[in-house]
Amino acid sequence: MPRDKAAGFAFTVTHTRGNARCGRIRTPHGVIETPAFMPVGTRATVKGLSPAQLRDTHTQIVLANTYHLMLRPGSEVVAHFGGLHKFMGWDGPILTDSGGFQVFSLADLRRLDDDGVEFRSHIDGAAIHLSPESSIKTQNELGADIIMAFDECPPLPAEGAAIMAAVRRTAAWAKRSRAAHTRPEQALYGIVQGGLDVSLRRECLERLVEIGFEGYAVGGLSVGEPPAEMYALLDEFTHELPAERPRYLMGVGRPLDLVRGIAAGIDQFDCVLPTRNGRKAYAFTSQGVLRMRNQCHQLADEPLDPACACYTCANFSRGYLRHLCMSGELLGSTLISLHNIAFYQDLMRQARTALESDEFDTWRAAFSDSPASCRCEEPT
C-alpha cells in the first residue's frame, strides 16, 4: 500500500458548487482555509515584507524555493537553526517546491537526463546535481509542512515527444521522491505534467495515484501558452484529480486566473506576481491595475483602493506612494507589495464566502466582468 497520509496532515472539503470547492487543510503549523493563495518567499523571505506584515494581510501559508535555499545558505544551515519556521520567523504553514521549475527556467544553465539535472549555479557557476533524492533530502532538512516531488516542467508550446518524455520522467521521479521521503510529519504532493494534452495529463495522474501522495499539483501551466488554452485544460481535467486530496495549481497568479482555477476545482495557488508587481510600482485594486509612477497620481489624496482595509490603504495616499516610487524609496515597494498580497488574500476570502453562501456563480460572474479581474494588460 502506498504511504499517502502524513502525520498531522488532513484535508476536508466543506462546501462545493459545481467543481468549485472550499475546505480546510490541517498541518502541524496550523489550518489553511481553502481556496488559499501562497505568497512566494523564494529565499526564506517574501521580498520586502516581514512575517508580521504577512499576518496582517491574512496570509495563511507561504512558499519557499528548494533550489535557491540549497545554494544559499544551504539546507544544513537552515536545519541548524531548527528548520525554516524558526529560521525565517514564520510560525504558520510552509510549502517548499522541489526545484523542478528551475529545470525549466534555468534551461541555459543545466543538463538533464533520467538521473536528474546538472546545474551551473547562477551565483558562482559551481556544478550542482539535483535529483529526486537530493531534492527530497533538501526539503526534509528545510522542514516545511508540505513538500513537492521532483518533476520536469517542459515549456509550452512543445513537441508532443518532449511532453511525453517529461510525463515519463516526472512519473519515474515521483516514485523515487516518495521512496526518498523520510519525515512522516511532512506531506508530499505529486506534480501532474502533460502540457495541454489531457490524455497525457491523465496518464501522468494515474501513475501518481498508484504511488500515493497527500496532495496533487497541476504543473507546467502559465509557461508560454495562451490563457484560454490553460482555462480549457483546467476545466476539462482538474475535477479528475482525487477529490479527497488538496489540488494545487503551480505558479499561476493573475486575479482572473485564480478565479477560473477555483471554478475548476483548485484549492491552492502561488505566484510571484503580487510582490514582483509591487516592486515595479504596480498595484492591484478593485478599480483595476494602477501604475503608481504615472503623473495622474501625483496630487491624488485617495488611497490605493477605497475598498481595501489593509495597512497601506488605511494610512497612505496615492500621492505619497507615487513620491516613494519616484524617489526610489524602499518603503514604496514594501507598501504596494503589502497591499497587493492583501488584495489577493481578500480575493480568496471572497471566493470562500461565496462558496459557503452558495453564491459562487453570481460572485464569479460579477468579478470576471469587473476591473478587479485585471483583464487589461495596460495599467492606469
- Judging by beta carbons within 10 Å of its beta carbon (0-12, 13-18, 19+), is residue 49 exposed, middle or buried? buried
Instruction: Report pLDDT for 56.
Output: 98
Instruction: Encode the chain (380 residues) as per-residue pLDDT tens digits.
Output: 345 679 899 999 999 999 999 999 999 999 999 999 999 999 999 999 999 999 999 999 999 999 999 999 999 999 999 999 999 999 999 999 998 776 566 666 678 899 998 877 777 878 888 999 999 999 999 999 999 999 999 888 889 999 999 999 999 999 999 999 999 999 999 999 999 999 999 999 999 999 999 999 999 999 889 999 999 999 999 999 999 999 999 999 999 999 999 999 999 999 999 999 999 999 999 999 999 999 999 999 999 999 999 999 999 999 999 999 999 999 999 999 999 999 999 999 999 999 999 999 999 999 999 999 986 444 44
Neighbours of 169 (CB within 10 A): 20
Give the alpha-carbon dihedral of 181, 208, 9, 222, to 10 degrees: 100
Instruction: Give the up-direction half-sphere exposure of residue 99: CA atoms within 13 A in the CB hemisphere.
Output: 27
Cα 173 from Cα 188, distance rounded (Å): 13
In a domain, 212, yes or no: yes
Number of domains in the chain: 1
In a domain, 46, yes or no: no
Q: What is the CATH number of the domain that holds 158?
A: 3.20.20.105
Which of the 8 DSSP states describes residue 373? G
In a domain, 266, yes or no: yes
Which CB contacts under 8 angstroms, 24+ apart, belong to 354-357?
355/15, 355/16, 355/17, 355/20, 355/21, 355/22, 356/14, 356/15, 356/22
DSSP 251-314: T---HHHHHHHHHHT--EEEESHHHHHHHTTEEEETTEEEETTSGGGTT--S-S-TT--SHHHH
Which of the 8 DSSP states describes residue 132? H
Cα 254 from Cα 256, distance rounded (Å): 5
Cα 168 from Cα 173, distance rounded (Å): 9
Among the listed residues 4, 145, 257, 270, the single catalytic one is: 270
In a domain, 136, yes or no: yes
250: left (phi over 0), alpha (psi -120 to 50) or beta: beta
Instruction: Report pLDDT for 123.
Output: 79
Which CB contacts under 8 angstroms, 24+ apart, belong to 104-107?
104/152, 104/153, 104/154, 104/155, 104/223, 107/155
Query: Which amino acid is located at 235 in the chain?
Result: D
In a domain, 121, yes or no: yes
- For cell 470576471, the residue is 368
Q: Tell me, yes or no, if 270 is annotated catalytic.
A: yes
Instruction: Report pLDDT for 377.
Output: 44
Among the listed residues 4, 97, 151, 267, the single catalytic one is: 97
In a domain, 237, yes or no: yes
In a domain, 126, yes or no: yes
In a domain, 32, yes or no: no
With vertex at residue 190, the alpha carbon angle to CA 176 and CA 192, rounded to the nearest 5 degrees, is 110
Q: Tell me, yes or no, if 91 is annotated catalytic.
A: no
Instruction: Report pLDDT for 355.
Output: 98
- Domain extent, residue 97, equals 61-271
Instruction: Report pLDDT for 46.
Output: 98
- Judging by beta carbons within 10 Å of its beta carbon (0-12, 13-18, 19+), is residue 306 exposed, middle or buried? exposed
